Amino acid sequence: MAEDAGKIIVHLDVAKSGRSTCRATGEKIEKGEHRVGVEAYTGGHISMTWQKLVPFLEGCSVEYSKSSTGADKKTGQKFAKGDARFVVTTKGSRILLSLKSASEELQPVLEEAKDFKLLSMKGLENLKENDRAEFFKHFSVSAAEQNTYNKEHPAPADQPSSPPAKKRKVARNKAKAAKEDEEDEEDDAEAEEQEEEEEAAEHAETATDQPKIGNKAVVGPSSSPSSDSNPPAAAAESKSKSKTKKRAAK
């Protein structure tokens, strides 16, 4: 349910007595001194809490929403995860505002707090370029001040988001398939090499078994030699068995 857009969240007031105490520093707020009032839960109920101007502003910050919980106190608009938002604090209590709402609420306070530098706001240096530009626009920061700040505090680069689980699974499957294809290619190369070695061994065996008459070899039936009597063939067979075991191990 949306809040009243015209509702005041941050109250700028002049102390009517010297009885109030700054929630940020614990110091007394003198009569006639400007003070900032924010409603917060304290003492078991909601009541107005007061702070001095500069300590109040020093306690404010900008940040990114870490989840989809929380909403702009002024408009009721929900924050999505990763949204830039403004945080008003009052001794343990946090009030969330959009950058636009915060600029509207804090403008009177900033005009009165001459000693506070807006560009010293906590968390501003952590805003990405687009969100920082949004802050500058809503808080009416001059172009010269923007350029100076950006040079001194370069905006962080966008971090690549993690791919969805389905995409990660597809990527893993592709990597697995590529590895299997690589192993198949290695197996094919080893099989081809083995075949060549077996053919060479067979050729050597045939040449060894042919009897010779003079300087000519006589082709005729002959018994197959054992591996012990034919060292080249035995070596080829041993190497072939070793590669077969290697492929089986994969």
pLDDT tens, residue by residue, 206-231: 666 555 555 555 555 544 444 444 55
Count Cα atoms within 13 angstroms, Cβ side, for 82. 6
Residue in 82, 27, 81 with CA at minimum distance from that of residue 55? 27
Which pLDDT does position 115 carry in this prediction? 92
- Which whole number is the average pLDDT over 81-108? 94
Which pLDDT does position 226 carry in this prediction? 47
Which pLDDT does position 193 carry in this prediction? 75
pLDDT of residue 105 exceeding 90, the answer is yes
Contact 7, 36 (CB under 8 A): no
238 Cβ contact list (under 8 Å, min separation 6): none
Which pLDDT does position 42 carry in this prediction? 76
Which pLDDT does position 175 carry in this prediction? 82
pLDDT tens, residue by residue, 53-89: 999 999 999 999 999 989 999 999 999 999 999 999 9
User: How far apart are the C-alpha atoms of 155 and 136, rounded to whole Å?
Assistant: 13
DSSP string, 29-74: --TT-EEEEEEEEETTEEEEEEE-HHHHHHH-EEEE-SSS--B-TT
Which pLDDT does position 196 carry in this prediction? 75
Which pLDDT does position 143 carry in this prediction? 97
Which pLDDT does position 90 carry in this prediction? 86
pLDDT tens, residue by residue, 7-30: 899 999 999 999 999 999 999 999
User: How far apart are the C-alpha atoms of 220 and 212, rounded to whole Å?
Assistant: 11
